[in-house]
Amino acid sequence: MLKRLGLGAASAGLLSTAGIMFTSTAVAVEPANFQLGPVFVAPTLNTKLGYTDNLLRSSDDELDTLFSQITPRVQAWLQNGVNTYSLAYKLEDYRYADSGRDDFTDQQVNLDLHHEFNARNTLNVIGEFYDGHEERGVGVSDGVGSILDKPVEYERATFGGDYTYGSVASDGRIVLEGKRADYQYQNFRDFTRFRDRVQGNLAGAFYWRVGAKTDALLELRYIDNEYDENNILDPLGSLDSDEYNYLVGLSWDASAKVSGSAKVGAYEREYNSSGREDDSGFQWEVDLNYQPRTYSNININTRRYSQETNGRGNVINTEEYGLSWAYNWNSRSATLLGVTAATENYDGTPREDDRVDVQASYNYTARRWLDLGIGLRHEDRDSNENLFQYTRNVFFIEAKLSL
């Protein structure tokens, strides 16, 4: 139950990059909780100390610094049979020894409701409010992080849910999803106000059982991006767009040695402004887990997707490829190795980036309530525009505590 609520073992997912996530097989015991009447409460605390040799992801003005990160989190939930109603709060405090202007405290609140009306009708509802920041050199300050005097702040409010008719055991099932995310930037309004937007997502998928642990699937998605304000200095006009995704593929049950899904199809992106050229092409999503042993897991994932522009071009068309290996050496020790390679094309501009991220971590479960870890990450971005090239290394040690 706790794993569905996001309270799984602390060893899982020590490191991640934007885009593809690396996850590990769990070795630690799930956090304990206490009860207040009908409400269960589980607090956790993650602490990290580290060093980065290029905080701003700069091509020529590299800033190295020690840093700390403290992340307390508390989750409370009600359990009614298979139905769960959860509320969680997380705070992340970042401190940099040689760059106090980059210090920041992020906050996040999550509401999750899981309700099964019967074996064939399931509803999930999610709500999230995030008050946080983009590190200098990321997002709208990409390539110009050293020019800004502090990180870019923004708020994101998300609400959505999904409804499933059928079950994993039935011959067919239908999944309908909807989500709305509102992005509002808080500082450097001279240029960030043009990034404020609302993104709406609608999706529907039909699964048909074709084997003991295999489903064929058909999935349709619609993505609507509406920006609050147009930049009158941009001759191409509004960035408002509609994107359609059409996918077919296969999905494999999580209990199988090979699990996950593979989808192929096409996308179409249409802009409201006649000054921007519509885009279309081939699309794919593959996320496969191979578990040759209970203590070993290999993940292969690749996808083609669109990222909203950070200020250059119409959209960032991205192709991403990832490989990771998680291995539990015994009941206490686990390692995680991962690599991601990606190509990012800034549609409407000459810019093209090639990115490689390499990660490695070791996790040791010292006590049921304490995980210790050490890890490193190497980032390398090559671009045909020198301003956006950089290399970055991050080393860290961490401790994860629970009741």
| pLDDT digit string, tens, across residues 264-287 | 999 999 999 999 999 999 999 999
Q: Count Cβ atoms within 10 A of the Cβ of residue 220 and give its class: 0-12 exposed, 13-18 middle, 19 or more buried.
A: middle
Tens of pLDDT along 323-357? 999 999 999 999 999 999 999 999 999 999 999 99
Mean pLDDT along residues 115-123? 96
Q: Residue 313 gets which letter from DSSP?
A: S
Helix, strand, coil distribution of the chain in percent, nearest 5: 5, 65, 30
Question: What is residue 57's DSSP assignment?
Answer: -
The values of phi and psi at residue 159, to 5°, are: -145, 140
The CA–CA distances, whole Å, from 346 to 308, 316, 342, 357, 385 equal: 10, 5, 13, 20, 12
What are the C-alpha distances in Å from 96 to residues 47, 67, 150?
14, 4, 12
Domains of the chain as residue ranges with CATH: 34-402 (2.40.160)
Is pLDDT of 23 > 60? no
- pLDDT tier, 27 (very low <50, low <70, confident <90, very high otherwise): low
User: What gap in Å lies between CA 56 and CA 392, rounded to an integer?
Assistant: 9
pLDDT at 26: 47
Q: Are 22 and 40 in contact (CB under 8 A)?
A: no
Indicate the pTM of the whole model. 0.90
